[in-house]
Amino acid sequence: MIPFRGGARVDERRLIEAAARGDREAFETLARAVHEQAYRIARRILGSREEAADLVQRACLRLWEILPRYRRQRGDFRSWYCKVVVNLAIDQHRRLRLQRRFEVVGEASDAAAPARAAEGPEQSLSASEVERVFERVAAFLSPQQRAAFTLVEVEGMASAAAAEVMGLRPSTVRNHLLAARAVLREQMLRLYPEYCRGLSDDE
């Protein structure tokens, strides 16, 4: 069953069977229910709203092409959709990383840093500032680390569920997650020390 806004639920299997027979409206209903989460995952892995929107569109086309195979798969449609998005995003992130690996690293702190420091450590970050900070420090993660961190820490998936989406063992996902946390912490301390007061090496 697929949850929709307002608490209504739709029979997922019936929609899949209809979509596999060529019913575009049924497929759009399925995709619409998962679109928001798929976009969030793609954006966190790729670090770009435009690239994420384009990737989710490509994932939809890919799913439409291979939907008949889903009837031979285990698991729910949401996990299957997210798996396609994660695989496409990891592949794309690898390609993009080769093209722009030095762009973020070489940038100095911007002119807003003194203003942020003057606000004091108690000042909470705006959503846009959190997004900007995350994208800069996450640039140091590998595609797998970024995907694991996004699925577990951002989307709230259990390690086992994230492992199913990524096609890995849960222990491998946990290793990627531990490495991601260490890298993010290191880069936060290096790039944004004003946000890290009281953070010691043994925490």
Q: Where are the domains of the chain?
A: 1-104, 108-138+140-203
Q: Residue 110 has what pLDDT?
A: 43
Q: Residue 109 has what pLDDT?
A: 38
Indicate the helix (H) or strand (E) that contains 2.
strand 2-3
pTM, two decimals, is 0.70
Q: Residue 115 has what pLDDT?
A: 38
Q: Residue 173 has what pLDDT?
A: 96
Q: What is the CATH number of domain 1-104?
A: 1.10.1740.10
**CA dist., res. 29 & res. 24, Å (int):** 9
Question: Who's near 167: CB < 8 A, 6+ residues apart?
Answer: 83, 87
Q: What's the fold here for domain 108-138+140-203?
A: Arc Repressor Mutant, subunit A (1.10.10)
Pairing of strands 9-10, 2-3: antiparallel
**CA dist., res. 110 & res. 44, Å (int):** 22
Q: Tokens 């009281």 identify what position?
A: 198
**Radius of gyration, CA atoms only, the chain:** 19
- Ordered per-residue pLDDT tens for the chain, 203 residues: 444 333 334 578 888 888 888 899 999 999 999 999 999 999 999 988 999 999 999 999 999 988 877 655 556 888 889 999 999 999 888 776 655 544 443 443 343 343 334 344 434 556 677 778 888 888 899 999 999 999 999 899 999 999 999 999 999 999 999 999 999 999 988 888 877 765 544 44
